[in-house]
């Protein structure tokens, strides 16, 4: 693994060759060496950007993105990444496409793939659907390109699904490696549920954090109240990675226990598991009334756990009383986190978010730019 220093990233052409034409739909799709290469490219692109060096490696290409959910950061990071690479970004509301009238994901992939040069997708609200939608879209694109002998590489970038939020968790990882250049081995990370009154949030961020940070030797504690479990394959992946990396992974039902001696805390809300599952049938039936009722019950359930807040008392339990606070944003201030803790970490969460543009650039560049190591070295 060659990512302990993001200031001196190692770009290995042989590993970058393996990423050419690839789509990362889960961080688990890439092996450790491939993830290291991706992070090295992100770091190099970030350094070039900071130095004001332009990297228009993909001029006159279309970076199309479909969002089936709201977004502030990821939409702008997609547009920013595409623009920095010389691509034309276009972002479309997924519900405004013919998918709403029954067009399949495979058909959609073929149609979008014939025009676009890269496709971003956010489809995160329905358990069991988002990641498989992306895989079907990719099949549609790949089948079309193969059938027509079209040599273009049209990768899919997962901009958040039901399982993972890879551009977020990789940005989180870049920020952690910037903050802890010695690496994550032995660091204690608390990924905790926190109270939210705003909406039943997807499970993909805590799942993605558990799956990714355990690969780097961190001791990850997942904390949540009863009823807020995560998808079983993600928990199994986190446990497997921890065993392989020399880190650890445990699940507790106490925010205090997770925070005790933590180096890093990541308190955020997600929806109750059983109600997130109930959404699947209501969504398939296009039953807006049932969806609204499930949302009401989810918020009622959340409200039983108003004491799950990241506040000054809990931060005092962390290592030296001064853990790094992280959040993918937007945070519910006054519910997930106290105003004082957020005020103290406002710049930190912005620096965390700022990595996403370079992670998306790295995903697009590794998938699409031939001889990338040479081009980055020459830039």
Pick between residue 44 and residue 201 the one whose CB is nearest to ligand CP.
201
Quick one: tokens of 146? 């193969």
> Considering beta carbons, is residue 133 or 144 the nearer one to ligand CP?
133
Residues 6+ apart with CB under 8 A from 355: 42, 46, 170, 171, 172, 174, 175, 178
Nearest CB to ligand CP, comparing residues 72 and 346: 72
- Which of 298, 323, 299, 328 has the alpha carbon at shortest distance from 311? 323
CB nearer to ligand CP: pick between 95 and 115: 95
Q: Provide the minimum distance between the beta carbon of 95 and ligand CP in the complex, in angstroms, as a whole number.
A: 16
CB of 354 to ligand CP, least distance (A): 12
CB 159 within 8 A of CB 152: no
Q: Which residue, 25 or 145, is less far from ligand CP as judged by CB?
A: 25
Contact in structure between 120 and 89 (CB atoms under 8 Å): no
The Cα 317–Cα 280 span in angstroms is 39
Buried b (16+ CB within 10 A) or exposed e, 335-366: bbbbeebbeebeebbeebbbbbbbbbbbbbbb
Which residue, 317 or 335, is less far from ligand CP as judged by CB?
Answer: 335
Closest contact distance (angstroms) between CB of 157 and ligand CP is 13
Residues at the site binding ligand CP, with contacts judged by CB under 6 A: 71-74, 160, 168, 328-329
Q: CB 71 → ligand CP: shortest distance, Å?
A: 3
Q: How many CB atoms lie within 10 A of CB 235?
A: 17
Q: Report DSSP state, residue 252.
A: E
Considering the complex, state which of residue 160 and residue 318 has its C-beta at the smaller distance from ligand CP: 160
Distance CA 133, CA 125 (A): 12
At closest approach, how far in Å is the CB of 129 from ligand CP?
A: 18
CB of 198 to ligand CP, least distance (A): 12
> Least separation, in Å, of the C-beta of 253 and ligand CP?
26
Cis peptide before 123 (omega within 30 of 0): no
**CA 267 remoteness from chain centre:** 15
Token digits of residue 337: 């986190």
């Amino acid at each position: 693994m060659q990512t302990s220093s993001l200031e001196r990233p190692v770009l290995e052409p042989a590993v970058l060759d393996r990423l050419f034409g690839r789509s990362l739909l889960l961080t688990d799709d890439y092996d450790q060496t491939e993830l290291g290469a991706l992070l090295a490219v992100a770091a190099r692109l970030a350094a070039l950007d900071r130095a004001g060096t332009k990297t228009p490696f993909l001029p006159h290409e279309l970076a199309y993105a479909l969002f089936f959910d709201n977004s502030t950061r990821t939409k702008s990071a997609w547009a920013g990444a595409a623009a920095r690479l010389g691509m034309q970004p276009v972002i479309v509301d997924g519900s405004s496409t013919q998918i709403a009238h029954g067009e399949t994901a495979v058909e959609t992939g073929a149609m979008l793939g014939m025009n676009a040069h890269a496709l971003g997708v956010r489809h995160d609200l329905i358990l069991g659907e988002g990641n498989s939608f992306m895989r079907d879209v990719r099949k549609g694109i790949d089948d079309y390109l193969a059938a027509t002998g079209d040599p273009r590489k049209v990768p899919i970038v997962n901009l958040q699904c039901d399982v993972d939020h890879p551009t977020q968790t990789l940005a989180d990882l870049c920020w952690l490696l910037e903050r802890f250049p010695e690496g994550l081995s032995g660091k204690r990370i608390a990924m905790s549920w926190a109270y939210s009154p705003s909406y039943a949030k997807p499970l993909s961020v805590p799942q993605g954090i558990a799956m990714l940070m355990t690969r780097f030797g961190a001791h990850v504690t997942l904390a949540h109240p009863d009823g807020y479990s995560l998808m079983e394959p993600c928990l199994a992946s986190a446990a497997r990675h921890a065993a392989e990396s020399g880190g650890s992974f445990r699940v507790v039902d106490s925010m205090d226990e997770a925070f005790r001696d933590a180096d890093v805390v990541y308190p955020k809300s997600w929806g109750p598991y059983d109600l997130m599952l109930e959404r699947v049938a209501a969504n398939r039936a296009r039953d807006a009334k049932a969806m609204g009722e499930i949302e009401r019950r989810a918020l009622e359930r959340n409200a039983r756990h108003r004491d799950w807040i990241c506040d000054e008392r809990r931060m005092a339990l962390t290592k030296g009383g001064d853990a790094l606070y992280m959040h993918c944003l937007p945070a519910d201030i006054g519910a997930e986190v106290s105003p004082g803790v957020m005020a103290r970490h406002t710049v930190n969460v912005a620096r965390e978010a700022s990595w996403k543009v370079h992670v998306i650039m790295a995903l697009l560049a590794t998938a699409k730019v031939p001889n990338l190591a040479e081009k980055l070295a020459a830039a």
